[in-house]
Amino acid sequence: MTLVGRRVRVRVPATSANLGPGFDTLGLALNVHDELDVEAIESGVEITVEGVGAGEVPTDETHLVARAALHAFDRLGVPAPGLRIHARNAIPHSRGMGSSGAAIVSGVLAAVGLVGDDVDVDDATVLRLATELEGHPDNVAPAIFGGLTIAWVDDDGPHHTELAVHRGVSLLVAVPQERMSTSLARSLQPADVPHADAVFNLSRAALLIAALTQTPGLLFAATEDRLHQRYRASAMPSTSRLVEALRAAGHAAVVSGAGPSVLVLSSDPEQRLAAAEIVAAQEDSWESHLLAVDIKGGTVEGNPR
């Protein structure tokens, strides 16, 4: 099998994980995308980047997209070709919008697309390959499949299920200038949590599924959390202040992923605009993005043959 000369175009959405109480389980795909044109070449890795990350990220085989593609080729038992990658990035880096998960999914999908029909690769394999690099499936699942996803891991590996978000749900993501390391955010988590807090989050996570899929009026109560956000607050004081200000006004605001961005889940467009006014009034610099749920997830176009 020779892959040289094959080309694909990959498009992968941003994501917001946790959604408040659904720590390491719930994820939502957002209509902000990174796009890649990928060509299999004789040897080497050549990467050019437009948009977010240009001049910052590596342009060799250490780039996360390339690492993910090479990992996928290896796990699929396919000799890796060289890669020529042109990336057009729109997902902010280190802001809690799933940029690393999107890069991993992009690389895996690029490899799968280049292999084409020569190797049978199902959805479960794509999720497994992406999770092997990401470490947990809550961001990569919505990036692959779109919409609202519930992800879990058992002895057989990662799994997911997809749910349709109620059409009355409106999204706002407030993005600050500063960045946040996911590893730092995770290091602030305690090894154990009180039993009452665990039960609290179980009830809210179950309620959140109902709120997002059936009854958006329950979003405020459903987004309460005691497992992770308060432990990370000291590392993201401006994020904590914004979440508090929004929730004090009745908005279902949560930390997006590991932060520092803030996700607001509104039950109608007017409520979302009111939340945007609160964001604009903050002393810190925030940029509001009025977004929708991406229902397609990652896509691959092109004829690998």
Pairing of strands 148-154, 26-41: antiparallel
Is 95 known to sit in a ligand binding site?
A: yes
* Residue 266 labeled ligand binder: no
Binding residue per annotation — 236? no
Beta-strand relationship, 82-89 and 7-17: unpaired
92 is in an annotated binding site: yes
Residue 241 annotated as binding site: no
Check whether 234 is labelled as a binding-site residue.
no
Scanning the chain, the segments in alpha helix (DSSP H) are: 64-76, 99-115, 123-134, 140-145, 182-187, 195-213, 219-222, 229-232, 237-248, 269-280
Q: Is 181 annotated among the ligand-binding residues? A: no
- Give the span between the Cα atoms of 83 and 60, in whole angstroms: 10
Is residue 97 part of an annotated ligand binding site? yes
* Rounded Cα–Cα distance for residues 166 and 163 (Å): 9
Q: Is 93 annotated as a binding residue?
A: yes
Does residue 66 have a known ligand-binding role?
A: no
Distance CA 179, CA 53 (A): 13
63 is in an annotated binding site: no
DSSP 8-state class, residue 267: S
- For residue 54, what are the CA distances in angstroms to 64, 188, 305? 14, 30, 31
Question: Are the CB atoms for 208 and 223 separated by under 8 Å?
Answer: yes
The residues, any chain, with a CB within 8 Å of residue 214's CB and separated by 6 or more, are: 166
Q: Residues marked as binding for ATP?
A: 92-102
Q: Residues marked as binding?
A: 92-102
